Amino acid sequence: MDRREQLLDAALDLFVSQGFHKSPTAAISKHAGVSTGVLFHYFETKEALIHALFLRTKLSLMTHATRALFEGKKKGVADTLRRIWEDSVEWALSYPLEFRFIEQYHHTLYMEAVHSDAAIRVREEALRSYFVDGMKAGSIQTMDPDLLIQSGYKLITGFVEYLLERHGHVVDPKTREGAWAMFARAVLVLK
C-alpha cells in the first residue's frame, strides 16, 4: 500500500473513532507510521485530506451501489431497485468504518467536495436518470428525483444503522424483507 493510501486509512480510523476536530494531522501521521511532512506532501491541509477520503469512500459506495445500472442486464424496475438496495446495504455492512465516515461527513461543513469528482458524478447521474426514466414509465413515484433518491438513501442508512447498532451483520429475513418493503413503498409505484 502506498503512503497516500496509508494516510487515508489512518485518517478514516481516527475520524470515525475520534471525530474530525479531535484528530490532528500529527496523530493521523503517527497512526499511518509516517512523518507529518509526508502527510502534507500528499495533502496541503487537513481539509484536503478529509475531502480526498470522502471522494474515495463515496466513489466506492456509488460504484458498488449502482453496478446494476452498468452491467447491461435489463431487468424490471423493481428488480433493479432491489439490487441497488441490496448492494448499498452490502457495501455498508462490509465497510462499516467507511459507512460511518460518510454519515459523519454528511453532518459537517465539508460537503462542497461532494460533486467535484467526475467518476462520482457519472454514477450519480446514472442513478438520477434511472429514476427519471422510471417516473416517465410510471414505475417510480413522481416527484423531484433528487428528493426521492435522498429519501431512499436515508431509508437504507437507517436500516444499516439499525443492523450495526443492534445486530451486527445478522438480521432475520423477515426484518430484511420489511426494510426492503418500506423502501419499495417509498420509491416504487406499487400496483
Which tens digit of pLDDT belongs to each residue from 142-151? 999 999 999 9
pLDDT, residue 135, reads 97
Q: How confident is the model at residue 111 (pLDDT cuts 50, 70, 90)?
A: low
- 40, 125: one domain: no
Tell me the C-alpha distance between 66 and 47, whole Å. Answer: 28
- 90, 127: one domain: yes
Longest CA–CA span in the chain (Å) reads 60
- 23, 93: one domain: no
- 35, 87: one domain: no
Tell me the C-alpha distance between 13 and 60, whole Å. Answer: 17
- 105, 33: one domain: no
- Low-confidence winner among 6-20, 99-113, 136-150 (lowest mean pLDDT): 99-113
Residue 78 contacts residue 90 (beta carbons within 8 Å): no
How many structural domains are present in the chain?
Answer: 2
DSSP 3-state of 188: strand
For residue 27, what are the domain limits?
1-44
- 32, 83: one domain: no
- 57, 40: one domain: no
